[in-house]
Amino acid sequence: MVTIKDVAREAKVSVATVSRALNGSADVTPATRARIERAAARLRYVPMGAARSLVTRRTQAIGALLPDLFGEFFSELIRGIDLAARTHGLHLLVSSSHGDADEAAVALRAMQGRVDGVLIMSPHVDAAFLRKHLADSIPAVLLDSPPREPRRPHVNIDNQGGARAMTQYLLALGHRKIAFIEGPEGNRDARERRRGFEQTIAAHDGAGARYLKGDYSEESGYRAGRALLAGRKLPDAVFAANDMMAIGCLSALNEAGVQVPDQIALAGFDDIPIARYTHPPLTTVHVQIAQLGHAALERLVAQMQTLDTPEADVTTMPCEVVVRASCGSRSKTSGSGKAVQIRKLQ
């Protein structure tokens, strides 16, 4: 292994000068600097991070503790974090796919002493968990977590705002009786989405709501659709708490020969990749996941720089309504004319 000493010998200077030349330019003659750089290149010298960290007390790395995430969401989140981290010269230590709190705890502990800060996203994490497994001295930002830990900054998705925006959009289209397919009971996102819908309906004269149980699965959306069809009168619109349920509901409606959006409008939440391929393409709420990661990292860096300020704030990332064809309306029905029929396999 080639160390700074080897470079020093090769360039006939002291290690201190090598260090100065190779790091930020202190005062070192252009000639010596060039000589040192040549020597370093010739020897293929790469500084050992550990030694550097030991003395600078900085690892130049941040950790990301993530739960078991599905395709799109995970990739985009990491992309957002990674890109932002790179602009700060930070490395990214990833620990993902934690099924339960114990796994998360082990991972979180293992990270400490190797990173300058942590991004934590986990359903298992609460104030007690953090106090137990995370040193107070290490900066951390919580992603998409209930603001139950008042001493740490949070960056959350604005589920409620998104649901509000979508509901307003539906109302603006003239829909009055709207059915809402709920997400799973315990789920916080689901609860917030419902609340956004609820609020908006309550604030709007003449609007009526109906609630159907669901659990985020396509199956449950399908059942909700059947339940609606069984009623004597269809609502004007259906707003599902996520896209999968919207798709399930769409199946039920299609099966019954009910036209979307002509006879009933349909909206989802998440903007999963398939959403643009359904027929009609699904109007839904888009969450900018990469942005979420980006924002979280920036918040963490800010926290790392002002070590003294354990300011605990909550940033919420806005969601936007993506208008496609499933709610009818003035949508720019920009279809290419090509159609694919899709059927669910299982």
Partner DNA sequence: TTCAGGAATGAAAACGTTTACATTCCGTGC
Partner DNA sequence: GCACGGAATGTAAACGTTTTCATTCCTGAA
Q: Can you tell me which of 10, 20, 63, 130 binds DNA, judged by CB under 7 A?
A: 20
DSSP per-residue codes, 20-61? HHHSS--S--HHHHHHHHHHHHHHT----HHHHHHHH---SE
Rounded Cα distance between 152 and 310, Å, is 7
Instruction: Identify which of 104, 105, 119 has the alpha carbon closest to the alpha carbon of residue 63.
Output: 119
Among positions 18-57, residues that touch a copy of itself (CB under 8 A) are 44, 46-54, 57
- Evaluated on CA atoms 267, 123, 111, 129, the torsion sign reads positive
Applying CB under 8 A, does 109 fall inside the site for a copy of itself? yes
**CB 231 within 8 Å of CB 203:** no
Q: Are 214 and 185 in contact (CB under 8 A)?
A: no
The one segment of 14-22, 62-70, 235-243, 276-284 that binds DNA by CB under 7 A = 14-22
Q: Is the peptide bond before 147 cis (omega within 30 degrees of 0)?
A: no
From DNA, a copy of itself, none, which one binds at residue 3 (CB under 5 to 8 Å depending on kind)?
A: DNA
Q: For a copy of itself, which is the closer residue by CB, 198 or 219?
A: 219
Q: Is 76 in the site for a copy of itself (CB under 8 A)?
A: yes
- Which of DNA, a copy of itself, none binds 32 (CB below 5-8 Å, type-dependent)? DNA
* CB nearer to a copy of itself: pick between 26 and 54: 54
The answer to whether 201 touches 169, Cβ cutoff 8 Å, is no
For residue 4, give every residue at least 6 positions away whose Cβ sits within 8 Å of its Cβ, in sequence order, or none: 15, 18, 19, 45, 47
Write each residue from 275 to 314 as x if it is in contact with a copy of itself (CB under 8 A), else as -, in one continuous string. -xxxxxx---------------------------------
Asked if 60 is part of the footprint of DNA (rule: CB under 7 A), the reply reads no
Query: Is 12 near DNA (CB under 7 A)?
Result: yes
Binding partner selected for residue 308 from a copy of itself, DNA, none, CB under the kind-specific 5 to 8 Å limit? none
Q: Which of 41, 48, 135, 314 binds DNA (CB under 7 A)?
A: 48
Diameter over CA atoms, the chain: 91
- Regarding 16 and contact with DNA (CB under 7 A), the answer is yes
CB of 206 to a copy of itself, least distance (A): 32
**Which of 44, 57, 232, 233 touches DNA by CB under 7 A?**
57
How many residues can be counted in the chain?
346
CA 159 to chain centre: 12
Q: Which residues bind DNA (CB under 7 A)?
A: 1, 3-5, 12-20, 22-23, 26-29, 31-32, 45, 47-48, 51-52, 54-57, 113
